[in-house]
Structure 1
Amino acid sequence: MAKSEGWSQKVTKSSDALDLEHGVFALEDPGEIARSLKKSAEESARRKSDPYRSAMSMLTFYINRAGKQLSQERRDHLEAAKDELRELFGRPRKNQRQ
């Protein structure tokens, strides 16, 4: 196990992060990813901020930790999940990415 994998896994499990559905970030449908994150955030007893912020933070954390290892297609799916998450929580969508 690489050092960074151990660190991010520890953060995910022991911080005030969310209890995520197994394999949520591997889902193909951005809407499914967003719905799963929303459900986890709303049900979590570990989060310290509001459900929207917690869900968006976890998604952003995953994208940033994966970094260059993410294919452009996978990154696009995860960025689309951010837009879906915004919509589920009634927040305005960001401008379309190029």
Structure 2
Amino acid sequence: MARPRTKKHTVGKAGRKRSGRKWSGRVSRTSDALDLKGGIFKSNNPEEIARSLKRSATRSRRKKGTPYQSAMSMLNFYINRAGKNLPEKQQHVLEDAKEELKKVFGREE
């Protein structure tokens, strides 16, 4: 007798099991590379976002790269994870925060 297929795991295109949850959600919940101020990415002030990311990245002892790399990666991760659900106004604020992050780390070009 054939076993009934469970809904818990399905096989994706590459033959990998998928649990129905996205890896990015798990990273957001469990990663402790940076201790971010709550709701910082909802701020309308790019300078505040950049300063907060810099503060978190320079204080963290758990990051793998430089503080600048960690801060920029976290910002990009948030933007990419939000995707189409990110309002256009907030998208612009976060893109401006990238430029501010470069300034606060002295990486202006």
- TM-score, normalised with respect to structure 1: 0.83
Give the Å deviation of 1:8.
2.8
Give the Å deviation of 1:10.
2.6
Match of 2:95 among 76, 79, 83: 79
Q: 2:70 aligned with 1:54, yes or no?
A: yes
Q: 2:16 aligned with 1:3, yes or no?
A: no
Letter matched to residue 55 of structure 2: K
Determine the structure 2 residue equivalent to 1:35.
Answer: 51
Percent of aligned positions that are identical:
56
Assess if the C-alpha contact under 8 Å between 1:24 and 1:36 holds in 2: yes
Whose RCO is larger (CA < 8 A, sep 6+)? 1
RMSD of aligned Cα (Å): 1.7
Assess if the C-alpha contact under 8 Å between 1:12 and 1:18 holds in 2: no
- Whose helix fraction is larger, Structure 1's or Structure 2's? 1
Matched residues, number: 90
Letter matched to residue 52 of structure 2: S
SS at 2:47 equivalent: helix
Give the Å deviation of 1:13.
4.4
- TM-score, normalised with respect to structure 2: 0.75
Letter matched to residue 18 of structure 1: L
Determine the structure 2 residue equivalent to 1:91.
Answer: 107
**Unaligned 5+ runs, structure 2:** 1-19
Determine the structure 1 residue equivalent to 2:33.
Answer: 17
